[in-house]
């Protein structure tokens, strides 16, 4: 199976540890530090193991991005019956994780590197960030809000529009400002709660609205 089709849940703990080391190398040393020799040395593994697990350098980058994206959780469990409270908790968890991952050194380094390479012919990093990063996050979050609709807790005609409203409420222009050097939020929990409250007021059904505190 190609690494491009693997989900992060299919990586072993050892592979995850290697990916953490590779991400840290990228943060500390930039693109030039991300070599198979450097990763093997930092992670205390052989180059043969790296090739076996991840393939070439693009495969390693793909796995790194997918692993980083997997840190944004939705905690949707198979067979779970969503309630207004559990939907709120799951969406808040997603919002907090999203803010913390986007504001972290790893994501900022990956995005700055992709922006710097965008003018190069054949550069794949931007495409990998979209396909293995952003779209994987989008897919899991949209599955959660679709589950909320099926449970009679959310109402919308267009799931994509509803999700991007949620994403915009959470992130706003924070990521762009941080890429330009501004410091991140001091209180991601508060921002996450505010964003989710606004989203639920826009898209929540009577079951959800009845359990929300009155506007002050």
Residue extent(s) of CATH 1.10.357.10 domains in the chain: 74-209
100 CB-near residues (< 8 Å, 6+ apart): 188
Bridge partner residues of 154 (DSSP): 204
pLDDT band at 5 (very low <50, low <70, confident <90, very high): low
Tokens read off for 193: 């709660």
State how far the Cα of 129 lies from the Cα of 125, in Å rounded to an integer. 6
Average pLDDT over residues 80-91: 91
Cα 211 to Cα 114, 141, 144, 169, 216: the distances in Å are: 43, 22, 19, 21, 15
160 CB-near residues (< 8 Å, 6+ apart): 142
Residue 190 near residue 63, CB atoms below 8 Å: no
Q: CA-CA-CA-CA torsion for 16, 20, 22, 24, nearest 10 degrees?
A: 180
Given a cut of 60, is residue 87 above it in pLDDT? Answer: yes
**∠ CA 145-171-110, rounded to 5°:** 105
Given a cut of 60, is residue 19 above it in pLDDT? Answer: yes
Average pLDDT over residues 27-56: 87
State how far the Cα of 148 lies from the Cα of 172, in Å rounded to an integer. 23
The mean-pLDDT minimum among 46-55, 69-78, 142-151, 184-193 falls in 69-78
Average pLDDT over residues 29-53: 87
| Sign (positive or negative) of CA dihedral 48, 54, 56, 57 | negative
CA 148 to chain centre: 20
Residue 26 near residue 85, CB atoms below 8 Å: no
Class of domain 11-68: mainly alpha
Residue extent(s) of CATH 1.10.10.60 domains in the chain: 11-68
Q: Is 187 helix (H, G, I), strand (E, B) or coil?
A: coil
Residue 95 near residue 167, CB atoms below 8 Å: no
Given a cut of 70, is residue 24 above it in pLDDT? Answer: yes
**Most confident stretch, 18-27, 28-37, 162-171:** 162-171
* In CATH, 74-209 is 1.10.357.10: yes
């Amino acid at each position: 199976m190609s690494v491009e089709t693997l989900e992060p849940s299919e990586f072993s703990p050892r592979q995850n540890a290697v990916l953490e080391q590779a991400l840290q190398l990228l943060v500390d040393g930039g693109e030039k530090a991300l070599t198979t020799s450097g990763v093997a040395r930092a992670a205390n593994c052989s180059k043969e193991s790296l090739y076996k697990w991840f393939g070439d350098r693009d495969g390693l980058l793909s796995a790194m991005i997918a692993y980083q994206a997997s840190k944004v959780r939705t905690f949707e469990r198979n067979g779970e019956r969503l309630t207004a409270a559990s939907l709120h908790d799951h969406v808040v968890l997603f919002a907090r994780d999203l803010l913390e991952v986007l504001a972290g050194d790893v994501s900022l380094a990956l995005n700055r590197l992709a922006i710097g390479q965008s003018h190069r012919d054949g550069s794949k990093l931007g495409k990998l960030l979209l396909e293995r990063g952003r779209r994987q996050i989008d897919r899991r979050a949209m599955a959660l809000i679709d589950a909320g609709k099926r449970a009679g807790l959310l109402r919308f005609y267009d799931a994509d529009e509803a999700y991007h409203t949620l994403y915009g409420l959470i992130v706003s222009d924070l990521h762009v400002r941080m890429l330009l050097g501004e410091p991140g939020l001091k209180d991601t929990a508060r921002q996450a709660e505010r964003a989710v409250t606004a989203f639920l007021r826009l898209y929540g059904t009577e079951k959800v609205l009845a359990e929300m505190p009155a506007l002050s």
